[in-house]
Structure 1
Amino acid sequence: MNRYADYEYYIDTYCGDMIEVHFNRQIVRVSSFIDYITFGRLGGPEAAPEEVKYAACEMCDVLQAYEDAKVEGRDVQSVSNAGYSVTFAGSADTGGANAEMNRIAQRYIPAHLLSMCVYEKGRRFDE
């Protein structure tokens, strides 16, 4: 399975602060997501542009933050402190981590890798 960043890159270049065991779990999920949204066009971690590594690290942080915010394995929508009330996100609630990861991808990953258009030799196939 592809991993678009390693822990050394995450700590030294991205300057992340997640512990290694959490990073190793999240990078697998993130790399699978990146392969999905790029339609497998990256050709593996060695061929991926530097921006993909950085995006992968930022996405790992997003997934870990969402995981850290869960209570009893459920997504929390809101918390109030005075009478301690927790509202859990329903199954119909979408967005969240996936929406944030898509925004990160659009910011860092070159647009032609995210496009559904088929490219051949630098030109769109339908041109």
Structure 2
Amino acid sequence: MYADYAYYTGTYCGTLIQEAQWPAAYRAADAYLDLATFGRLRRGWPVDDDVRMAACAAAEAACRYQAAQAERKPGLSGFTNDGYSETYAGAAADLAAGQKAEMAAAVDLYLPRSHPLRYAGGDHYAGL
């Protein structure tokens, strides 16, 4: 866990996620951070405030996605009354793409793509 609930509410000053929702949100955030950092955090890279803040921001994005997923009507993504129109295709895919984009933006805010953790090449930064 890169950030705990006390860090989220105290240092990050987050209010969106309730304590009961935190485990699911931080698991999704940590998984995304592992993906974005090529697993370097799991392999012992120091977890600093930038990482913790990115984890909190990503957890909020994950929580918003989980809430939207719970509220989504199965199969129906759009409906208009005048002229009657319903849209079914791609609702889940659109929601997942939106979550990925929101989590990427949240992580980019605290760990920009120029950060050594995000370097896609060899692990020559491993000693930092």
Matches within 5 A, 1:7-22: 7-17=5-15, 18-22=17-21
CA RMSD, Structure 1 to Structure 2 (Å): 3.3
- Which has the larger share of helix? 2
Task: Calculate percent identity across the aligned residue pairs.
Answer: 31
Q: Which runs of 5+ in 2 are unaligned?
A: none
Structure 1 13/112 Cα, relative in aligned 2: closer, same or farther at 3 Å? same
Structure with the higher strand share, 1 or 2: 1
Q: Is the 8 A contact 1:4 1:45 kept in 2?
A: no
The higher-RCO structure (CA 8 Å, 6+ apart) is 2
Deviation sequence 1:75-106 (CA, Å, 0-9, x none): 98557799xx9856615535211111112222
Q: Please, what TM-score do these two structures have when normalized by structure 2?
A: 0.72
Is the contact made by 1:31 and 1:56 (CA closer than 8 Å) also made in structure 2? yes
One-letter amino acid of the structure 2 residue matched with residue 113 of structure 1: L
Unaligned runs of 5+ in 1: 123-127
Give the total of aligned pairs: 119
CA distance in 2 between partners of 1:36 and 1:46 (Å) = 14
Query: TM-score, structure 1 length as denominator?
Result: 0.72
